[in-house]
Amino acid sequence: MHRPKHLFYSPENCVFSCFWALFTLLWVATATSSAQDSAWRAMSPGFSPQALLNHQDAMWAAGSGGKIAASVDRGETWKLKHSDLRDGLLLVLGFTTDKFGYAAGTGKRILLTEDGGETWSKVIEAPAAVWQAAFGDTLHGVVRTREALLSTADGGKSWNALSVLNDPGWQEKFPNTISMAAIDQLHMIIRVSEGQYSDGEFLWTGDGGATWNANYLPNGAGGNEVFSFDQAYWSMGGEVVGKDKPGGGGRIPMAVRSKDGINWEHLPVIYEACHWTGCGGCTSQGCFAGRSSFVPFSRILHDSANQSSATGPGALAIFPSHILSSQWAQSGNTLCVLTNRSVECAVMKPVEKLDTQDDLAEWINERFPPLRNSRPSMLGSTSIEPALKQGVRCIRCDLINLYISREAKTGPAELLLSFTIAEDGGVATVNVSGGIPRDVADKVRSSAQGWLFEPYAQDGKPKPVKVSIKGRVMIMNPDNH
């Protein structure tokens, strides 16, 4: 297999202008403690999960070994609902109605349920491993694979690449697929963006995927995930206001809602909770406002009838500080968060008011690579996949090319990265050696521990596999650059 001369860094793909942005990013990541509070307890569903959500008063998880499980006692015990090695690592789990749901992953099989998750007997064959998906019913759905966004209107008998009528060049501008959702068999939507945290647009269909259109929302409106609730699309984000006033404008939190993808309603959200850090990880249950605060969905809007309640379902709440992700579930006063292939739960405490001014949340990176990953990001991050051995395929395995260190001279440095891919596709052990300083090795090791791979299989069964690759990164010492 051809391997590039400089796998991680080359002068032509890392410009000096990205230095200060990267320095700020690394400083924030270092300054933010990743230690998890002792009040959090591990609640294992019996396998390594990749998806976690609420449905019908139960917590649901899906992940390794093609397993799906549910808990009705706040994560204490889990009942296995599906298990099939042919389904590989399940990355997707969702419900469109009370009865209809879907799951998919690396096994190239889309599992469907029509009885609320009790059975997953109906299967649609996918053209490739499925990273993201949304289905309105057993016939109509859209999937994100490694290479493309595809839709079907006949239960997988045929798949068509998305062709957007009013934006034919959408993929070049917005290669990142943030999230997708379905309201019913006709209405589906996809949130795409230029970068991980940048603005983008919504791709939507109102005829079951026969035609697709794009809708751009200015000023960062709906800048995060899109989800369906109460027969409508929702997205939380922010908008810039007061740009024409003396001193410039500012960004305030907001929500957008649409029943068809065409017409969008602007809804100011609860300002005092989401003002300082913004609200993230939003689902139909609610949002996180910082690393230890929770805003239930019934309190998101200013005109909520439950806004004055401090103890009911609409109560604001706090929980022990934690690394957050968009994969979470709430049952009563118990909050469970999925990070690093582990479900951890803690008790939330209702409060009258949230103080999130200094509560900058620390988020685990769960984003998938762009549809075309040939161009490096502004921070010089690139995929290690070209250097992997035959048969090993990564789902997320990007590594930053440029590191800040006061322990070495500015310049390129060689490294040897050795790690084990576990049976569930996660990284079990990481060793970093070569001519790089200790602080950079620690950062590389931390990044690698969050990688995810398609489970390596022999004779149809997943097994651990050891990988060693060589590369070069750029070191920048701010004291002697």
Strand order in the sheet with 141-144: 132-135, 141-144, 149-152, 160-161
Q: 219 pLDDT band (50/70/90 cuts)?
A: low
- Which sign does the torsion angle of CA 64, 69, 72, 73 carry? negative
228 vs 308 pLDDT, higher one: 228
* Structure tokens belonging to residue 278: 């913004």
DSSP states of 31-53 as a string? HS--PPPTT-EE---SS-EEEEE
**pLDDT tens figures, 141-151:** 999 999 999 99
Is 205:226 a contact under the CB 8 Å cutoff? no
5 vs 159 pLDDT, higher one: 159
CATH tag, 41-351:
2.130.10.10
* Residue 241 scores a pLDDT above 60: yes
* Residue 332 scores a pLDDT above 60: yes
> Any idea which residue has 């988020």 for tokens?
363
Which residues sit opposite 237 in a β-bridge?
Answer: 254
Buried b (16+ CB within 10 A) or exposed e, 369-395: bbbebeebbebbbbbbbebbeeeebbb
CA dihedral 59, 62, 63, 67 (to 10 degrees): 120
- CATH number for 11-32+370-476 (one of 3.40.390, 3.10.150, 3.30.1150, 1.20.140): it is 3.30.1150
**Residue of 397, 471, 475 lying closest to 7 (CA atoms):** 471
Q: 196 pLDDT band (50/70/90 cuts)?
A: low
Q: 373 pLDDT band (50/70/90 cuts)?
A: low
- What pLDDT, on a 0 to 100 scale, did the predictor assign at position 401? 87
446-452 average pLDDT score? 92
- What pLDDT, on a 0 to 100 scale, did the predictor assign at position 481? 55
> Any idea which residue has 């589906």 for tokens?
188
Q: Tell me 269's DSSP state.
A: B
- What pLDDT, on a 0 to 100 scale, did the predictor assign at position 459? 84
Q: From CA 422, how far away is CA 416, in angstroms rounded?
A: 19
CA dihedral 281, 355, 195, 213 (to 10 degrees): 60
172 vs 269 pLDDT, higher one: 172
Lowest-confidence region among 324-338, 354-368, 380-394, 430-444: 354-368
**pLDDT tens figures, 48-89:** 999 999 999 999 999 999 999 999 999 999 999 999 999 999
Q: How far is CA 44 from the centre of its chain?
A: 20
Instruction: Evaluate whether 11-32+370-476 and 41-351 have a shared fold.
Output: no
Q: From CA 323, how far away is CA 236, in angstroms rounded?
A: 20
358 vs 454 pLDDT, higher one: 454
- What pLDDT, on a 0 to 100 scale, did the predictor assign at position 265? 87
- Which sign does the torsion angle of CA 11, 14, 15, 20 carry? negative
Q: How many residues does the chain have?
A: 481
Q: From CA 339, how far away is CA 327, in angstroms rounded?
A: 8
Q: 350 pLDDT band (50/70/90 cuts)?
A: very high
Please state the φ and ψ torsions of residue 308, each to the nearest 5 degrees: -85, -10
**pLDDT tens figures, 302-314:** 545 445 455 566 7
Separation in Å, CA 421 to CA 82, 114, 353, 362, 456: 24, 35, 44, 25, 8
- What pLDDT, on a 0 to 100 scale, did the predictor assign at position 78? 97
> Any idea which residue has 């009528």 for tokens?
165
CA Rg value for the chain = 22
Q: From CA 271, how far away is CA 239, in angstroms rounded?
A: 12
SS3 299: helix
Lowest-confidence region among 195-199, 225-229, 423-427, 457-461: 195-199
* Residue 125 scores a pLDDT above 90: yes
Output the average pLDDT for the chain: 85
Share of the chain residues as helix, strand and coil, in percent rounded to the nearest 5:
10, 40, 50
* Residue 479 scores a pLDDT above 60: yes
DSSP states of 383-433 as a string? ESGGGSPTT--EEE-EEESEEE-SSS-SEEEEEEEEEEE-TTSBEEEEEEE
* Residue 466 scores a pLDDT above 90: yes
Q: From CA 257, how far away is CA 358, in angstroms rounded?
A: 29
208-219 average pLDDT score? 88
Lowest-confidence region among 138-142, 247-251, 436-440: 247-251
Q: What residue ranges do the domains of the chain occupy?
A: 11-32+370-476, 41-351
- What pLDDT, on a 0 to 100 scale, did the predictor assign at position 33? 39
In the chain, pLDDT over 90 holds for what percent of residues?
58
Is 343:45 a contact under the CB 8 Å cutoff? yes
Lowest-confidence region among 244-253, 300-309, 315-324, 331-340: 300-309
Amino acid letter at 30?
T
CA dihedral 389, 391, 392, 393 (to 10 degrees): 120
Consecutive H or E run containing 173: helix 170-173
- What pLDDT, on a 0 to 100 scale, did the predictor assign at position 23? 39
- What pLDDT, on a 0 to 100 scale, did the predictor assign at position 225? 86
CA dihedral 209, 212, 216, 217 (to 10 degrees): -30
- What pLDDT, on a 0 to 100 scale, did the predictor assign at position 311? 56
Separation in Å, CA 88 to CA 175, 247, 438: 26, 55, 36
- What pLDDT, on a 0 to 100 scale, did the predictor assign at position 423? 94
